[in-house]
Structure 1
């Protein structure tokens, strides 16, 4: 493997949204400690630094640009003091905060603020603004440990807050559901019901289908993909299915191929999927084909093709990933400094264009996606590693 490629792969070996640096301690004691702070007056909280709150606005965390101008461009979560938050909202809203964990002696919480109150946190002087988590994901350098840690915290907070926003009422009796414990649970407000409600994970299998005989892998396109982007097959697990059964069904339904074996690769939290599914877990596998004729389900996919290992290597466009990451990070910095939100916010996107077979223009998802790690692991598998079987 080329030295330059080795460097890229080593930098991008960790999944986005994983390895959260916050430690979840005893939740009841953390909640009791928070309540003791909320009993104090704002003046008594003025110097309190052991409680930090991450403000959200419509699922977007508050971030800041840490330097002027940052080089290379980067961003950080803009934690706020309990003192400032107490001045903006009453204690009833603060009781809806979600506990994220501890770092040392400091408790970290998240709260989705009303629009008029959230505006108080946006400042071109302080270089703070609310930014979509998907944009933060694209704009994070995978080799930047601090940035990746902040991204994992933002992803977890987003998933929990979106779950609370969706679960407003008891699914059994329809009574309003109340925050309980540390925001990791809700309970029906009807004393005759008191049903406990917990966040549920939507599991998704994602598979790189491999033809070991001909040393090639199957990649597919959906109509909503970026122009010329190809990726792995994926699908939700249905009730009563095992992971293996879900893989076999999805592969057969989407491309008409049978598999006879699968190898687990890794998993990734994915809080940037559909709004209706805020807590997803992507479970990645290599799946080995025993039939090879592709029959594309035109409803699910636009196209699917076999690609040789050398062709796939050409589709791993590291310079493109780095360019998009820097461009997006720079735009986040501009937004923090007060640039108009609606212009030039992301790399140029052209959708709904059928992917051609011109390998110089084709690419696979960037290093923030588990699909990238599945594909690059197979393309550059070490002969002395477990992946030598691939």
Structure 2
């Protein structure tokens, strides 16, 4: 078995290559400037369509395609502005400037041009599935693309980060429709980067927010063990770190201690920060979470599982956890998901739901396994197993 630690340049869903860096309003590709050009495009007063690329989403799923060949690789289904307008002809989706959400821009130095990227939700019209299917595109669950991504491929990791950012923004728009202060409607502003109440006496501004989640590997230093939990939704033999939401008025360290005690009855003393990861693949009610990873050192050892929170929790030796880090299984999962994306885009299995593809890892090579390299839990566990620590306290 291979037990290598997989180190990524940045966590999955981070490292967005087109994420805007708050450009000045005078910048021709700032959100405000790009939005003005967009309105001119929609009114037919300009024809600079090549500068705009659009990524459609349907029910939280981005449009994707596949390169095919022996090694299947997915890619986002970017459409030029002109092609996108053509696809919408005769559909129920009426293109307007309040539907498109600004994602960012990239300077193509070799071509001496810049491209602005937008996202749009086209869930209203199911007929677009067939139209885009004829171009060998399909709408794919973001979790499926996450598993199908070759984490050694920088370009693919960048596209996954873009798709995650776009999904989080679009889901936020879908769930933030009314003002929490007065109940009036909210309308998009600043190219979809915020929303504002339409009532003149209110004008409340609303910006996208993330839900912080603490995720922790609880460690028994004296016995060289780690505490892992199992939820009922997990596939058989999969174990992972404990996690929970931050409560108002609570520090991150307090949240780690509270969640660990509530779920397992284990008391925690020292809490050490490890890393963080954006997580835009949760439910639409929480369109983007920020996973904040910690090592937590236990001061008690007797487990008392809260069955309403976890199915089970156990102490696992370093050697057992090392055996669970089976690289071949994650590689198999990646290739299997990439093949299924390719089949979907080519119409082999039309209408197939790939919501379960996230669970493609079977754990056949070990009695237990842990989440793949796309999850911060994997890197917490791998860091402890291989003692990848600058302070050598693991």
TM-score by length of 2: 0.88
Partner in structure 1 of residue 51 of structure 2: 50
Among 6, 9, 34, the residue aligned to 2:6:
9
The answer on whether the counterparts of 1:62 and 1:130 sit within 8 Å (CA) in structure 2 is: yes
Distance in 2 of aligned mates of 1:245 and 1:92: 47
Contact 2:230/2:311 (CA < 8 Å) preserved in 1?
A: yes
Whether the 8 Å CA contact 1:14–1:142 is kept in 2: the answer is no
The C-alpha deviation readout for 1:206-264, integer Å capped at 9, x for no partner, is 00000111111001111111111100000000111010110110011111111110111
RMSD across aligned positions (CA): 2.6
Identify the range of structure 1 (82-91 vs 281-290) with the bigger mean alpha-carbon deviation.
Answer: 82-91
Aligned to 2:73: 74
Which residue does 2:390 correspond to in 1? 386
Distance 1:214 1:40, change over 3 A: closer
CA contact (8 A) 1:55 1:118 kept: no
| Cα gap change, 1:348 to 1:20, in 2 (>3 Å) | closer
- Shifted more, 167-176 versus 32-41: the winner is 32-41
Provide the aligned length of Structure 1 versus Structure 2: 376
Supply the distance in 1 between the matched residues of 2:98 and 2:360 (Cα, whole angstroms). Answer: 43
What TM-score do you get using the length of structure 1 for normalisation?
0.89
Whole-Å separation in 1 of the counterparts to 2:101 and 2:279: 19
Write the distance in 1 (CA, Å) between the matches of 2:218 and 2:243.
Answer: 11
Give the whole-Å Cα distance in 2 for the aligned partners of 1:23 and 1:304: 39
Aligned: 1:26 with 2:23:
yes
- Superposed CA offset, 1:18-70 (max 9, x none): 1111141437543333323432478776663111111111111111113xx33
1:375 aligned onto 2:381: yes
| DSSP-derived class of the 1:287 partner | strand
- 1:35 matched to which residue of 2? 36
Determine whether 1:271 maps to 2:267. Answer: no
**Equivalent residue in structure 1 for 2:125, among 115, 118, 137:** 115
CA distance, structure 2, for counterparts of residue 348 and residue 267 of structure 1: 21
Give CA-to-partner distance per residue, 1:347-387, whole Å, 9 cap, x none.
59599xxx9xx9922111111110011001101114xx425
CA–CA distance in structure 2, aligned partners of residues 45 and 338 of structure 1:
37
Q: Paired residue for 2:141?
A: 132
Residues 44 and 247 of structure 1, relative CA distance in 2, 3 Å threshold: same
Q: Which runs of 5+ in 1 are unaligned?
A: none
In the other structure, the counterpart of 2:97 is 94
List gaps (5 residues or longer) in structure 2: 108-113
**Paired position in structure 1 for 2:111:** none
In the TM superposition, residue 200 of structure 1 has moved relative to its aligned partner by 1.6
Q: Deviation at 1:94?
A: 3.2
Deviation, 1:96, is 2.3
Deviation track 1:94-120 (CA, whole Å, cap 9, x = no partner) reads 332111111111111111123246336
- The corresponding residue for 1:366 is 372
Correspondence list, 1:202-217, <5 A: 202-217=211-226
Counterpart CA distance in 2 for 1:268 and 1:233 is 15
SS of residue in 1 equivalent to 2:366? coil
